[in-house]
Structure 1
Amino acid sequence: MTQNQVEPVNKTSVTLLGLGAMGTALARAWLAAGHPLTVWNRTPARAEAVAAEGARVADSAATAVAANTLIVVCLLDDASVDEALAGADLTGRDLVNLTTTTPAQARARAEWARERGARYLDGGIMAVPPMIGVPEAGGYVFYSGSRELFEEHHETLGVPAGTVHVGDDAGFAALHDVALLSAMYGMFAGAAHAFALIRKENIDPASLAPLLADWLVAMAPSVHQTAEQLRSGDYTKGVVSNLAMQTAGTPTFLNTAEEQGVSPELLAPYFELMHRRLAEGSGEEDLTGVVDLLVR
């Protein structure tokens, strides 16, 4: 080796089970970064593209698991994980499950892995496939479970997307994932209602869109105040527009929807919760008390 040559760095070998859109994106990110990769997919044809890029294709999930210590699973659902790993020997393996599941399923899978001699890490991917392997896209993955495993493989796991370890409880990654996505769908619901209101008018949706986006961005920081009120138990702290005032305004939203021929079904349930909280709480509160009504 000459003075100017750089000694090659040994990259961690990875086994990846599942080559759907997300799995394929993960595979390509690890291959591009120089990680030896063994893959398996239920439909072998799906492996052809990454095989052409350097991946080794295993003829079974068990064979793929046997090839490496670090096993990453990205399948359809929890039942698919059961089926794929049924015949695999997980002794001494590090199992990272990026399959979308519930927190309870993640906790059960962690115990399942432990009983089979494997360390376990659960993951919730906060990205879509085009964001994988593109750091500037801002995608990341929530991880929970074995912190030791996370720290040991942090560099490798960080290749496809950023990493955030949210706790030793294996269910926390799935919980964070669903919590954020639930808020996203709530935002989508509000945006859908807003566009529906102007749908029959001579208003270009493209002219409303930047106003709507800016307004949602301006309102987003309110989650910090909600969090602080939940932590302290004082729902009147820092209130700008109280529950009584906001509840009094709900008929305007419902009447406007009726005038515009728009169903109120996306807004009405939230307004009903506001009225319930007002009936049993304090009008000086923020809207935070609605959270307590949702918790059974």
Structure 2
Amino acid sequence: MKMCLQYHRSTGSPGRRRFLTWRGGYHGDTFHAMSVCDPDGGMHSLWGDVLPGQVHAPEPPAGFDAPPDPHYVAGFEDLAREHAGELAAIIVEPVVQGAGGMRFHHPAYLRELRRIADAHGLLLVFDEIATGFGRTGEMFAADHAGVVPDVMCVGKALTGGYMTLAATLCTGRVARGIARGEVPVLAHGPTFMGNPLACATALASVELLTEGDWRGDVARIGAGLREGLAPAERLPGVREVRVLGAIGVVELDRPVRVREATRAAVSAGVWLRPFRRHVYAMPPYVCTEEEVAGIAAGMVAAAEASLGREDAGTEGEGRSERSGARGRGTDTEGDR
């Protein structure tokens, strides 16, 4: 986001300071990142009165295979047109909204965002922290749509989780634009930037990924999740079971009872991090078919336990909710 602001400042549009996004997103825990998370349903509503005010469109229509809704696209473009003079960029999680609800949307929306951004002089930012490096079945989620963003954020799988490292990539146009400004380089320099050990780990991780059969691994894991999660579809109280790439989600029609779900998952030999209404997993690509089956069985057990006895008592429910709130503070996206 800082890169986008500096780009517009360097190219003569310092008034372009706001961001357009859609609801249901999650982008991190620092102040500007929090401002483009879901303002109401997200975990950052506590800070709503002090965060920068951004422009939020409704959530994108759900469903990776659902036909794109032209009315939604028109409404999104209306917001871009209305606020064009003050917007720096559009920023979204492509294809999969992670900690905001593990929601999938059709890749065609990304092509529309690219068109809208170009039409109104905005940069397009894709947050691929959770989706990058094969997780959705393509190397990057943007590849499902054949779209190249102006700025892309990557992390997590960049090092395979062994070291903390993230990267912000940009096109040559953005880099050249920044170079035209009074500060001709990105004005950013955290203490641990470019840490040699983390970078070496990232190189090794990416090499292992690209030299292996990651597409086959992701397809195999996806197939195992579909098969293993099928029993959850028959559970009363399960709203939807969805799988994309190596991501499996069981969405309930009520908040997960975290204590009961965790106990059941651990008993099944699996450690999960359920949040809100979701029991989900993003298994490592090295998992065997047997391990994927075990993960899926643990997810089903967690969902079943969470949907179990409704007379468990309000005190237990309260403890589960408090535990869930703590977990959500460091959930699937919380290590940014």
TM-score when normalising by structure 2: 0.29
Task: Give the greater-gyration-radius structure (CA).
Answer: 1
Kindly indicate whether structure 1 or structure 2 has the higher relative contact order, using CA contacts under 8 Å at least 6 residues apart: 2
Larger helix share, 1 or 2: 1
TM-score when normalising by structure 1: 0.32
